Amino acid sequence: MIDELTNELIRFISSFTSWESTVIRSGDLSVSEVHAMEILGQHGEMNMKNLAQKLGVTTGTTTVTVDRLEKKEYARRHMTQADRRVYLISLTEKGIEAFKEHHHFHRELTRESLACLTEEEAMQFDLILKKINSEIF
């Protein structure tokens, strides 16, 4: 059972990664940049530490990603009034549009995935993913 499930997880992750790379390749963004934009698009502006935590990477890695997003005019950072050492990162209008476009692709993939499940299976799948994400990730 463990080996079979491991193989299916690897197959799913590989297929998803390949699909996402194909979608992203058509634009000027990297996978890490799109992931950062996905977090900012869903959660709104946040500081570097929180963005890094949500991405599961170091703040140094996140700084490089945000630098590239700023250079491409997808994101901006600004100091907070309360603590001038803290920068908040947010999407620009260009970034919001790119987020919406990419998020649309994710929603379509989810629709396709759910189309092969019954309503009960879809609800179970949702509960299982939530449990795994909350307890492991």
Helix H or strand E segment including 127: helix 119-135
Residue 52, pLDDT > 80, answer yes
Q: How confident is the model at residue 8 (pLDDT cuts 50, 70, 90)?
A: very high
User: Tell me, what DSSP letter sits at residue 28?
Assistant: S
Closest alpha carbon to 47 in 71, 73, 72, 82: 82
Domains of the chain are 26-135 (1.10.10.10)
The Cα–Cα gap between 113 and 107 comes to 10
Mean pLDDT (the chain) is 92
The pTM for the full model equals 0.81
State what percent of residues in the chain have pLDDT above 90.
76
3-state SS, residue 40: helix
Q: How confident is the model at residue 120 (pLDDT cuts 50, 70, 90)?
A: very high
